[in-house]
Amino acid sequence: MAKSGPLLSLAAGVMPEFSPQQTVAAAVKGGWPAVGIWYDPATWTDATTIEIRDRIADAGLVALDIEVIWLKPGPDDPAHFAAIDAGAAIRARNVLVVSSEPDPARTAEKLQRLSDHAASSGMRVCLEFAAFTSVGDIHSALAILDATGCEDIGLLIDPLHLARTGGSPVDLAAVDPYRFPYAQFCDAPASGPPPSDVPAIIHEALDLRLMPGDGALLLAELLAVLPRDTPLSVELRSAALRDGYRDPVERARVLLTATQQWLR
């Protein structure tokens, strides 16, 4: 990878059957400069924080993000703030947020409180939209971000979700570049399930993504409109990748090589 190219991060979703510790180890041995961390409040402990923090620091990795905070109806969830605290401890740059909160105003309020909590450690809260969440497209996401009144909250673009919700890279052109602290990256066929078929949309997002260049998403156009060298979380959730490369290190290496080749 050229030094002037984007920072590439192994997304946690590439390794769903492995622990965060195993994901970090795969990123290190697979040659990735950055990694994403999955936070499960049911299994995460103080020991987890220390181990991941030390492994990342010893390897000189960047912790690009920690995920996922899923907003739901009702009061604030203490586990969401705990996820931010864990991210701060491992020096993660961003925390990924999605929402099932049906009220956009309440979503904005919750995002604001999460952002306030993250600010002291320099982390950015980033909202991701998708057809299977209550923030169903880029325009809904931008309206919520505007309602927060907080410029620090990021907008996380996944090229698959952007395409499947009727959006295109053109929609990013009018957005403040500061809204994009990082982006996700993968490929897929040009067309897929309709947004109304939520089970099929979820299946594609979790199991059917393609290596960069193997599909027809507007990846070059997306990178052209994002700020130069925006860090990329390579979010390649794929049953074929998991089945074909059961060893986490081999999977990490194959994915990094394919991504680097496409970027070149």
DSSP 22-81: HHHHHHHHHT-SEEEEE--TTT--HHHHHHHHHHHHHHT-EEEEEEEEEE-SSSPPHHHH
DSSP 184-242: EE-B--S--S-TT-HHHHHHHHHHB-B-TTSS---HHHHHHHSPTT--EEE---BHHHH
Average pLDDT over residues 127-147: 97
Q: Is position 160 within any domain?
A: yes
What's the pLDDT score for residue 155?
A: 98
Q: Is position 182 within any domain?
A: yes
* Tokens 């309602």 belong to residue: 147
Q: Is position 3 within any domain?
A: no
Handedness of CA 146, 150, 151, 155 (dihedral sign): negative
Q: Model-level pTM?
A: 0.96
CATH (domain of 163): 3.20.20.150
Q: pLDDT tens digit string along 178-214?
A: 999 999 999 999 999 987 899 999 999 999 999 999 9
Q: What percent of the chain has pLDDT over 90?
A: 97
What's the pLDDT score for residue 196?
A: 85
Q: What is the mean pLDDT of the chain?
A: 96
| Structural domain boundaries, residue 62 | 8-263
Q: Is position 252 within any domain?
A: yes
Residue 241 scores a pLDDT above 80:
yes
Q: How confident is the model at residue 20 (pLDDT cuts 50, 70, 90)?
A: very high
Sequence-distant (≥ 6) Cβ neighbours of residue 80 within 8 angstroms? 69, 71, 114
- How many domains is the chain built from? 1
Q: Is position 90 within any domain?
A: yes
End-to-end CA distance of the chain: 8
Q: Is position 135 within any domain?
A: yes
Sequence-distant (≥ 6) Cβ neighbours of residue 222 within 8 angstroms? 157, 159, 162, 169, 172, 183
Q: Is position 149 within any domain?
A: yes
What's the pLDDT score for residue 1?
A: 36
Q: Is position 232 within any domain?
A: yes
Q: pLDDT tens digit string along 78-130?
A: 999 999 999 999 999 999 999 999 999 999 999 999 999 999 999 999 999 99
What's the pLDDT score for residue 2?
A: 38
